[in-house]
Amino acid sequence: MIGCKEIDDYIVGVENGSIKANDDIKKQCELVKRAFANESIYVDKEQLAGYMKIGELFFEKIYPYEKFLTACILTTYTKENKPRWYWFLGMIGRGAGKDGMIAWWSLCLVSKYNKIQKYDVDICANNEDQAVRPVKDITEFLERPDLYEKNKKSFKWTIEEVKGLANKGRIKGQTNSPKGKDGLRTGCVIFNEVHQYEDYDQIKVFTTGLGKVAHPRRISFTTNGEVREGVLDDYLHNAEAVLNGEEADNGHFYFLCRLDNKEEVDDESNWYKANPSLEYNETLLDETRTEYHEWKKDPYKNSSFMTKRMNLPIRADEKAVVDYDYIKHTNQPLIDLSKKCCVVGVDLSRTTDMCSVSAWFKIKDKRYVINHSWICTKSKDWEEITAKDNFGKWEEEGLLTIVDNFEISPKLIADYIQNLKTKYNILCVAIDDFRQSIFARELNMIGFSKENKTLKLVRPSDIAKVVPVMESLLLNQNIILGDNPVWRWACNNTKVISWKARSTSESELGNQIYAKIDAKRRKTDPFMSTVAAATCDLLLPEQIDIDTSLFRAKTI
């Protein structure tokens, strides 16, 4: 084995099953073993012993996984005396004690056992409480009556900042404000609840100070969350490649505690996969049991149980379009669709909000979709929209147009569809029955109208027929959009509900229809434009090449 008890004991426990671990943890243990076997790396055991002394005072008990991670992340070095794993992601279920671990590690890094001088630790988060909570934990520890005099010899502290007297490093909680961040000389930046970050802007603010002192580290602790296509999803995507051996780790270490699949949740022993602290904390286990029973009664209302406790975000099957893993499979390369037949779907709530257009192609069993959206900055929901920090990037990628005006002009949409006509054979445009009047004139000018049967008015009954079709296409990975995070975001913002006919107020033969999860914060237009197009799927014939010059716009 490796020769470090803290590492060896944990890996052996995972391998023999005495420590319940998921496939991700097993793979990471294999990577650790391989690194020690094939590289010139070592554990600084004197430093590790010092860090363990602090931990033994800080906690009633240090859990095996905490010892393992501390040894790997804080005290394992290359032959050049650099941290072997300088970038760390720990995704652990709610209640595991992430704040306590952040506090312990931070105190270690500014203690006398870390020989790097002026090794500052910045604890960063989206809100002040998450940023300063570990600092409060540290000051409460330092002020314990039985340790106060001893601690004064090693540390100096206020309610806002802790300093190490030997290495002169300091610990401070940081929030999102960029003010003053240019002067940071950070040794280690720790992100608390990284699942809340929708993009990298704030992360860049906090990491500008790295590299000015030796042994720079980036550490993230988090549960899973509701933000999709954000920073955490990127991290998890990268983790998959590393853990499966498709890419070198390049100093990255992924400790991902979650269920291997949602079916495991009904066996309580599997919960330790998501939260390894449960085995040692009866109170936490009781609370988790309570939340489990609440989740079983109403999975949609209590979805945070799976997201936060089990780190496996899912919505109840009857509420979700499909699980997000299937939504991700739409990210497959588009083929050349030039001169092919298609139908086009349009969806919007208001011209002052968001609008989206989807061109829908049928090639054998596959459905290819070209999607573009427009978002109005004057929308009354603008400040509340969850993904708005990504809009600039999505616009650069050609997936979204930001309209800095009071409304999205119908002419913008018509011009886009007219441009599609120069490349593809559009057989029909489908649009919501209640919205068609907004676009009727512009669409008629480019050749789409009810009179010539090239404009379909989509009714709720049409959508109800499409719901099972869309589900089947997604589950079988037969809808392809290329890399379109705007569409994936919108699909994940959509729920499926029972369709109640107005005449009876009862579910009609088990039919379902789509609805918005959160109308203000989470837009659905990109997905629903695809649904509108799908209502015309039967119009599409076997594809043949055509002469696009035959399909010219009408002119006045």
Report the CATH number that the domain containing residue 164 is assigned in CATH: 3.40.50
Q: Is 462 within a domain?
A: yes
Q: Note down the domain range covering 273.
A: 262-316
Does residue 346 sit in the same domain as residue 416?
Answer: yes
Q: Is 489 within a domain?
A: yes
pLDDT at 500: 56
pLDDT at 195: 92
Instruction: Give residue for tokens 């007297």.
Output: 165
Q: Is 490 within a domain?
A: yes
pLDDT at 208: 79
Does residue 246 sit in the same domain as residue 287?
Answer: no
pLDDT at 519: 63
Does residue 330 sit in the same domain as residue 453?
Answer: yes
Does residue 293 sit in the same domain as residue 362?
Answer: no
Q: Is 556 within a domain?
A: no
Strands 217-222 and 87-91: parallel
The 3-class SS string of 342-380 reads: EEEEEEECCCCCEEEEEEEEEECCEEEEEEEEEEECCCC
pLDDT at 181: 53
Q: Is 555 within a domain?
A: no
Q: Per residue of the chain (556 residues), what is the pLDDT tens digit? A: 789 999 999 999 999 999 999 999 999 999 999 999 999 999 999 999 999 999 999 998 999 999 999 999 999 999 999 999 999 999 999 999 999 999 999 999 999 999 999 999 999 988 888 888 899 999 999 999 999 999 999 999 998 899 999 999 999 998 765 455 555 779 999 999 999 888 888 888 888 778 889 999 999 999 998 887 789 988 998 999 999 998 999 999 999 999 999 899 999 999 999 999 999 999 999 999 999 999 988 776 788 899 999 999 875 444 678 888 899 999 999 999 999 999 999 998 777 788 999 999 999 999 999 999 999 988 777 877 878 888 999 999 999 999 988 889 999 999 999 999 999 999 999 998 766 778 888 999 999 998 989 999 998 889 999 999 999 999 999 999 999 999 999 998 898 887 755 434 444 445 788 888 876 678 899 999 999 999 999 999 866 444 545 444 443 3
Does residue 309 sit in the same domain as residue 211?
Answer: no
Number of domains in the chain: 3
Q: Is 214 within a domain?
A: yes
pLDDT at 431: 93
Query: How many residues make up the chain in this entry?
Result: 556
Element (H, E) at 27: helix 23-38
Report angle CA 354, 360, 363 to the nearest 5 degrees.
Answer: 160
Does residue 287 sit in the same domain as residue 400?
Answer: no
Does residue 292 sit in the same domain as residue 145?
Answer: no
Does residue 123 sit in the same domain as residue 99?
Answer: yes
Does residue 269 sit in the same domain as residue 390?
Answer: no
Alpha-carbon distance values, 434 to 349, 458, 460 (Å): 10, 9, 11
Does residue 116 sit in the same domain as residue 30?
Answer: yes
Q: Residue 354: which of 376, 370, 334, 330 has the closest Cα?
A: 376
Classify 211 in phi/psi space as left (phi over 0), alpha (psi -120 to 50) or beta: left
Instruction: Specify the pTM.
Output: 0.68
Does residue 394 sit in the same domain as residue 425?
Answer: yes
pLDDT at 176: 62
Does residue 213 sit in the same domain as residue 285?
Answer: no
CA 117 – CA 120 distance, rounded (Å)? 9
Do residues 403 and 375 make contact, with C-beta atoms less than 8 angstroms apart?
yes
CATH classification at residue 448: 3.30.420.240
Q: What 8-state DSSP symbol labels residue 411?
A: H
